[in-house]
Amino acid sequence: MKYICSSCSAEFLKWSGKCSFCGEWGTLEETEEVVTTNSGGEKSAKASMFKPISDFSGKRKSVVSKERMSTGYGEFDRVLGKGLVEGEVVLLSGEPGVGKSTMLMQIVLNFSKKGKILYVCGEESPAQLNERLERVSEGNVKNIENFVVTEDTVVENVVALIEEENFSLVVVDSIQSMHSLQSKGYPGSISQVRLSGALLTRVAKKTGIPVFIVGQINKGGDIAGPKVLEHIVDCVLYMEGDQYNQYRIVRSMKNRFGSTNEIGVFEMRGNGLIEVGNPSLLFLESTQEESGSAIGAVIQGSRVVFVEVQALVVERESEGGPLRRVANGIKKPRLDMLCAVMSRKGKVFLGNKDVFVNVVGGLTVSDPAIDLAVCAAIKSSVMDKPLSKSVIYFGEVGLTGEVRGTWGVDSITKEAERSGYTDLVVGRMKVGAVKKINVKKVYKVSSI
């Protein structure tokens, strides 16, 4: 007999009112250890069954295809790795109201043309779900009889339903609303989320039916529940955006069957999410040449995205107080480092100035190749001289002030030629033969 904390999963040999690991009260649950004995009465473990891996080839119970299954949206398929894999479990998370349920509703409508869909309503009633369906489909719904809805949030009952029926897709919205009979914890607790996720993953692998799971996030921005939930699923997707920005970006944090560098861009409208094929047009809204603006290039998987980096440098009228370094779209420590490099190596003193940097369009960039565009925008703001909108800046800036090139310059060159740009400023790197673009190599940040 042992006791397990439903909050942190710590194990104890005897019961106590308070968990000594996480400090929660009344979370210890009694469990029994099941053991077997041999003929001599000694405890022994039952041998697990094993088979050659070739016996598991092509023997799924589901009727879905072995090939990649398209969601009907090229942007979403790009993030998944060209579509869903048989038996794949996808965890979709994001801020409240960002459009997770709307996105899944549109995917369900596409899958309903192929077979029966199961939607587990844990947060919405079927009537509310039907209103969303009418809004997204605009009244033009076909094969609606294939759209099956259940309000049962007991995960064992849902698993039994999945095993009995030949569904082509299952959507659970959300995992925090599910609860298992094997645990006494409340829905959304660590033990309940862990058990529910494990049971849904197991039935997906057994039947070959892909499962979408919606995961809520906590106040820190992480997926609520135990970290083990992210480990057992095949793909973890995060949807970015806010209520003041109509664009939504889906990026992969983990993907066993594809790249984690791809992004999908969607535009939120009244009738749902519309995929954006050329996101560079969204992030290059300004066409006028003004000081403090530079065009940078980043690589997201197989896609080249051009973004506008804006900088505003304000000189302080009075001394005192810490300097302000505000970064939107890039990490603040990166901006602090670039400001220090510009002050020491770039011939632009920022020790008495506040610096504000923004990546237009709400895109979050982690690629260090955006450094050169940030430095160019900062210097342009300080000198109050506009930069040409036909120039692309691409390179990583080091602490010594050296500008280094990164991989993918050939892809950027081809995309720049196709988009009509005339000049490319890069770091110390080899550039292939180009015809329509003038390439300028910058070795020190001071020569921008």
HEC secondary structure over the chain: CEEEECCCCCEECCCCCECCCCCCECCEEEECCCCEECCCCCEECCCCCCCCHHHHCCCCCCCCCCCCECCCCHHHHHHHCCCECCCCEEEEEECCCCCHHHHHHHHHHHHCCCCEEEEEECCCCHHHHHHHHHHHHCCCCCCHHHEEEECCCEHHHHHHHHHHCCEEEEEEECHHHCECCCCCCCCCCHHHHHHHHHHHHHHHHHHCCCEEEEECECCCCCECCCCHHHHHCCEEEEEECCCCCCEEEEEEEEECCCCCCCEEEEEEECCEEEECCCCHHHHCCCCCCCCCEEEEEEEECCEEEEEEEEEEEEECCCCCCCCCEEEECCCHHHHHHHHHHHHHCCCCCCCCEEEEEEECCCCCCCCHHHHHHHHHHHHHHHHCCCCCCCEEEECEECCCCEEECCCCHHHHHHHHHHHCCCEEEECECCCCCCCCCEEEECCEHHHC
Range 257-272 average pLDDT: 86
Q: What's the mean pLDDT when you consider all of the chain?
A: 84
Per-residue pLDDT at 59: 46
pTM as predicted: 0.73
Q: Is the Cβ–Cβ distance between 224 and 188 less than 8 Å?
A: yes
Residues 396-423 have a mean pLDDT of 85
| Cβ neighbours around 345 below 10 Å, total | 18
Lowest mean pLDDT among 56-65, 163-172, 320-329, 435-444: 56-65
Confidence of residue 380 (pLDDT cuts 50, 70, 90): very high
Cα torsion through 397, 402, 408, 412, rounded to 10: 80
**Residue 405 confidence (pLDDT):** 79
CB atoms within 10 A of CB 144: 11
Q: Tokens representing 274?
A: 């519309």
Q: Which of 263, 161, 269, 144 is nearest to 209 (CA)?
A: 161
CB atoms within 10 A of CB 23: 10
pLDDT beyond 90 at 371: yes
**Lowest-confidence range among 47-56, 108-117, 292-301, 382-391?**
47-56
pLDDT at residue number 339: 95
Average pLDDT over residues 3-14: 78
Q: How confident is the model at residue 286 (pLDDT cuts 50, 70, 90)?
A: low
- The answer to whether residue 49 scores a pLDDT higher than 70 is no
* Structure confidence at residue 34 as a pLDDT band (50, 70, 90): very low
In this structure, CATH architecture of domain 281-447: 2-Layer Sandwich (3.30)
From 1.10.1740.10, 3.40.50.620, 3.30.420.40, 3.40.50.300, which CATH number describes the 68-277 domain? 3.40.50.300
Per-residue pLDDT at 244:
64
Split at pLDDT 50, 70, 90, the class of 64 is very low
The reported pLDDT for the residue numbered 28 is: 79
Report the DSSP beta bridge partners of residue 422: none
Residue 65's pLDDT band (cuts 50, 70, 90): very low
What tens digit of pLDDT does each residue of 82-141 get?
899 999 999 999 888 889 999 999 999 989 888 899 999 988 888 898 888 888 887 666
In this predicted structure, what is the pLDDT of residue 338? 96
Strand partners, 11: 4
Sign of CA dihedral 339, 373, 357, 334: negative
- Give pLDDT, residue 377: 96
Q: Mean pLDDT over residues 172-193, rounded?
A: 86
Kindly tell me if the per-residue pLDDT of 61 is higher than 60.
Answer: no
What pLDDT does residue 334 have? Answer: 95
Task: At 147, give phi and psi (nearest 5°).
Answer: -90, 105
